[in-house]
Structure 1
Amino acid sequence: MSEVSGIWVCPENNALEAAQNFLTAHQVSYLLVQFVDMHGSVKSKSVPVECLEGLTIEGAGFAGAAVQGFDMSPQDPEYMLIADLKTLRLLPWMPGYASLRGEGTVAGEICHMDSRNVLAAQTERLQRRGWRMMTGLEPELYLLRRDENGAVVPFDSTDVMKHPAYDYRGITRNTEFLEGMHQSLKKVGLEVYQIDHEDANGQFEMNFKYDEAMQSADNILFFKMAAREIANNMGAIASFLPKLNADTTGNGMHVHCSMVDGSGTNLFQDDSDPSGMGLSKLAYHFIAGVMQHAKALCALLCPSVNSYKRLMVGTAERPSWAPVFIAYGDNNRSAMVRIPYGRLEVRIGDSAMNPYLATAAIIAAGLDGVDRELAAPEPQSLNFYDLSLQAIADMGVERLPENLNDALDELDADSVLKDALGPDLVNSFIKLKRHEWHEYHRAVSEWEIERYLTFY
């Protein structure tokens, strides 16, 4: 524990006393006790710091019927969040506050509709084998504002280049936000190692060091909170919308995965791999499982109507960085899985995904490949966007679902993912997202007005 930096390391003994001392040293008055709904949206209660001990025993109570996706009724017992002191973090942008996550329960039993619990169940499957999944999630976001006409535009009014990727001005003219983010993450122990302006106007990516799967998912939720609040304090909007408009690239959330044993050895890496990709037999089986369940995974990693505006085939003028083809290859960014030597990067996900559900689903899909010893197809290191759709089909390479409804059909039919994540949770997710899909189809867009107003 470093009281100067604000980084909390939970000791094995006397954790409660140590946490109380840490909070006192940092003048914390309130604790935000937090969990996520099915969408991955953060839900909280503010609790006076004097009540910390009770949070670790009885927990904080929430009306589960008010939480989207929990499928609870007003007469049901409360959803209780039992705080885990290992998750304690200061909120650097909000002096006097800290956050806590934990285990959700209902009537003293594990709440299986709590997606963090679902990820915990999948990591426990790995632990029984002596394995741990390490993940590195790469969040992208738009930094925006509304102009005098109410239109959503980049926060930096000079960010107007046609191809602004890596332009230095994207960094130098947005330092208030980027440095604020970096310093906030650094103060709580997230090791940021690169920041860049992405391919869309107002779009940024900030990468921080990988960690165990649960910690990485927690980190992403912390990152999103920090981005939204720091942007709001500037009069800006930090948006994780997958696709802002047809002419820009979307906000991806690539998931880097490696499996380690108790000593930290990467079980996905084998330097003797004849392909040169440095993959072990275990890694190939895992990849085969991910590809086997790719269409169903899409519903969880690309969970919004808007997500499928991002999953489009690119052009020479505007290449797509969101792969739609179910394939993998050495450093191939046009395939759904890229191999950066000795690990894999699942590239289909976007910044709207619930990181707990998405990670749990990747683990479940990969383990199905491992348990059944599925054989991965041949890697494809070509650029799929150079080929016609027919040529790709002739190669036996399928594409991901083209809309949310089709992806939900695939998830509904995938008994392996349903059993692994829990049938009740998956059915609730599907019901919630079907409603979203139906609402979308009831809405009349500006495109329809412009196209059809005098067309007929």
Structure 2
Amino acid sequence: MQITNGSAGTTVDIRRASQADPEANAGIADRLHTLGVRAIAMTVVDNGGVTRVKVVPVRRLASVLRSGVGFSVVWAVAGTDDSFALAAPFDTPAGDLRLFPDLDALDAVTGGSPLAWVPADQYTQDLEVSPCCQRSVLREAVERGRARGIEFKAAFEVEMSLLDRDGRPAHSGPGYSASALLEIEPFALDLMDALAAHGIEVEQLHPEYAPGQVEFSCTARDPLAAADQLVLSRVVARKVARAHGLDVSFAPSVHPGTLGNGCHLHLSAWRDGVNLMQGGDEAGGGMSVDGAAMAAGMLDALPGVLAVLAPSVLSYARLQPQKWAGAYACWGVENREAALRLVPGTVSSRASSANVEIKTIDGATNPYLALSVLLTAAFDGIDRDAALPAPVQRDPHSMTKSERTKARIARLPSTLGEAVDLLARSEVAMKALGPQLHHAFVTVRRQEWATYGKCDVAEVISDYRLRY
């Protein structure tokens, strides 16, 4: 049973909203008890891209909604490898935050699961929203859109590598093939059932191109709910895999020399019920004037925010030309080599389904931060009346350097070190994240580059394969 229907409409201060109706909150606790739920797992995705968790008994829900649960300030500078970067004022054993569950996103699974999952927001001990709360910066970006009369729909594609207990791929391919699906059929069917039980509607699932790789796509939600949905779907996938004696990796690179795991984002913008990613002329690929300006804003910002979308050393083993990863900063209509792909949809559904796909995002990203920087870039595009260059309808890597220059096509950063340097100077990123979170994130990623930047990819994979 899904207690509610995602994060849509959540107010900026979820702590006060959750306290507004004590009787309703008591009713939620009672329903959880009736379902056999004994505890609630509160999740936070940190700047290392790791989903951290605190578990509280259901009987303590009222107390948690009143005072929260402790969470050290040092988690703002936690790395993927559990190291902590040195960045004041976070690099200290002193100080504490409080985690508050967002009951609008509380979910409980059918089938007698004793554990319910809920995303949490971070507050100071003075009960103010922490400037380093990744989920809150996305909520604020969504609210900035609503102030402009714009709402968004977002959906992440989930790519993962299904592994046996020895780390070998669970299917041997070929990609998209019936034979590969039959190797993992019991897992695939149980996964779709489990996701549905959590209120996550799967649109399609298939074995992907790399050995052991599987992809599934879910229905679009508002951005905050879409990020919550991605976090929960990964938890569910790992739980189902372990029930089958398997495990899953969401790392950008899992087996050296093979294709990695992306986390492509499909995004559409709406005003007064009209999809802005359609309804325009050919110059913008069919997008409206504002839709094209938002796409231009995201395209212009990509080099500077890439370290948020592709934040790991391993990201750049994946982000290679001719791998459908979007290694060049360009856009095209249904061009899977472009970093930004316009998906117009079929004639029969274009008004509702047209969207842009950002292909550079991978499994190491924090989805709340990825959406925050992209929405901020979209608003910047509108404010500047940004214009798209001509669409690229061929593989940009096959073009000569002069052809790419003439078409305004640039290679995106090829290392995390290069990407972090650009992120440190990105005005879009600073506006999206705020000074404290921006500083913390840059410091965490610089430490990862200093630690792993010169390591062999296989060594990094060994450390990171099951971290996300």
The equivalent residue for 2:234 is 224
CA distance in 2, matches of 1:84, 1:312: 38
1:100 aligns with 2:124: no
Deviation at 1:138, TM superposition (A): 0.5
Q: Distance in 2 between matches of 1:300 and 1:93?
A: 37
Q: Letter of the 2:227 partner, please give it.
A: A
Partners of 1:224 and 1:8 lie apart in 2 by 19
Could you tell me whether the CA contact under 8 Å between 1:304 and 1:433 is conserved in 2?
A: yes
C-alpha distance after superposition, 1:101-137 (max 9, x if no partner): 2321012211111111111111111121222221011
Task: Check if 1:153 corresponds to 2:161.
Answer: no
Which of the numbers 417, 423, 428 marks the counterpart of 1:411?
Answer: 423
SS of the equivalent of 1:222 reads helix
- Give the secondary structure class of the aligned counterpart of 1:323: coil
Partner SS state of residue 428, structure 2: helix
Code of the residue aligned with 1:8 in structure 2: it is T
- What amino acid does structure 2 have at the position aligned with 1:278? G
CA–CA distance in 2 between the matches of 1:260 and 1:234? 41
State the partner residue of 2:151. Answer: 132
Q: C-alpha root-mean-square deviation of aligned residues, in Å?
A: 2.3
CA distances 1:222-246 after superposition (whole Å, capped 9, x unpaired): 0111122222233322001112234
User: Within the alignment, does 1:294 sit opposite 2:302 as a pair?
Assistant: yes
Contact 2:117 2:232 in 1 (8 A): no
| Percent identical residues | 29
User: Residue 101 of structure 1 aligns to a residue in which SS?
Assistant: strand
Letter of the 2:130 counterpart = C
Residue pair 1:144, 1:238 contacting (<8 A) in 2 also: yes
Cα distance between partner residues in 2 of 1:275 and 1:227: 41
**Residues 74/411 of structure 1: CA separation in 2 closer, same or farther (3 Å cut):** closer
The 3-state SS of whatever aligns with 1:196 is: strand
Q: Counterpart amino acid of 2:358?
A: V
Where does 1:40-119 land on structure 2 (aligned, <5 Å)? 40-66=49-75, 68-69=77-78, 72-74=90-92, 76-91=94-109, 95-107=113-125, 108-119=127-138
Distance in 2, Cα, partners of 1:116 & 1:303 = 17
Superposed displacement of residue 198, structure 1: 0.7
What one-letter code is carried by the residue in structure 2 that aligns with 1:344? V
Distance in 2, matches of 1:196 and 1:353, equals 22
Alignment CA distance shift 1:80-1:93 (3 Å): farther
The equivalent residue for 2:200 is 190
Partner SS, residue 402 of structure 1: coil
| CA distance in structure 2 between the partners assigned to 1:222 and 1:293 by the alignment | 29
Q: What is the CA distance between 1:368 and its match in structure 2?
A: 0.7
SS at match of 2:77: coil
Task: Structure 2: give runs of 5+ residues left out of the alignment.
Answer: 7-17, 79-86, 345-353, 460-468
Q: Secondary structure at the match of 2:264?
A: strand
Partner-residue secondary structure (3-state), 1:174: helix
CA distance in 2, matches of 1:331, 1:95: 41
Instruction: Give the superposition deviation at 1:383.
Output: 2.5
- How far is 1:295 from its partner? 0.4
Structure 1 residues 194 and 427: CA distance shift in structure 2, 3 A? same
SS of equivalent to 1:35? strand
Cross-structure match for 1:273: 281
Is 1:332 the counterpart of 2:344? The answer is no
Question: Aligned partners of 1:175, 1:6: CA distance in 2, in Å?
Answer: 26
| Aligned residues between the structures | 427
TM-fit CA distance, 1:83:
1.8
Computing the radius of gyration from Cα coordinates, the structure with the larger value is: 1
Q: 297, 300, 305: which one pairs with 2:313?
A: 305
Q: Any idea what SS the aligned residue of 1:257 has? A: strand
Greater Cα offset, 355-364 or 420-429: 420-429
Q: Any stretches of 5+ residues in structure 1 without a counterpart?
A: 315-319, 448-456
